[in-house]
Amino acid sequence: MNNHFMEYSYDKFEFKVDKRCWYHDSEFWVREESGLFIVGATDFLQTNAGDVAFLELPEAGMDVTAGDEVGLMETIKTTVVIVAPLSGNIKRVNQVLEDEPGLVNSDAYGDGWIMMIEATNWEAEKADLIDAEAYYPIMEKNIKQAMDKK
C-alpha cells in the first residue's frame, strides 16, 4: 500500500487523496517536485466527470495567475475547465495526454498530471489552497452529494 494516499470508499467507487498535494476549490491539485509545481485533476473530479476523451492543454511558456482558465478537459459526460491553482509560468505540459487522455482517469496523481508551473508567489498563494487533511472531508461531502444525484 502507498503511504501517500488517504482512501475513501463510497458505493462501488474508491477515491484517493494524495497527502503530498495542496488542493484548489476547482478540484485541481498541486504538488511541489524539484522546484516546480505539478498540477492535475483530483481523483474525485476525474471520477465524477467521467472518462476523459480529449484535453485542450495550455501552452508551455504561458504566464498564468491563480484561478485562470488555461485549458479544457472533455469527458464522456461534460466539459471541465482546467484551472491554474497558482500563479507562475507553465514550464511543461503533459503531451502524452494528447494520445492517452485516459491517464487522467487511471493515474490522476501520477502519469495523468496536466502541467508543471514555476511558481511566482507560492508562499502567499498557498494560503488560498487546502491541504490534504482539510480537503478529505470536503471531498467526502462532494462524493456523497454527487452520488446521491445519480
- Helix, strand or coil, per DSSP, at residue 83: strand
Task: Pick 82 or 76 by higher pLDDT.
Answer: 82
Cβ atoms within 10 Å, residue 5: 16
Q: pTM value?
A: 0.92
CA proximity to 41, closest of 1, 4, 76, 74: 74
- Helix, strand or coil, per DSSP, at residue 150: coil
Tens-place pLDDT, residues 7-40: 878 777 788 999 999 999 999 999 999 999 999 9
Q: How high is the pLDDT of residue 125?
A: 97
What mean pLDDT value characterizes the chain? 93
Give kind and range of the element (H or E) at residue 6: strand 5-10
Average the pLDDT over 64-92 and give the result. 97
Largest CA distance in the chain: 42
Residue 150: pLDDT band (50, 70, 90) is low
Q: For residues 81 and 72, what is the distance between their CA atoms, to the nearest angstrom? A: 5
Residue 1: pLDDT band (50, 70, 90) is very low
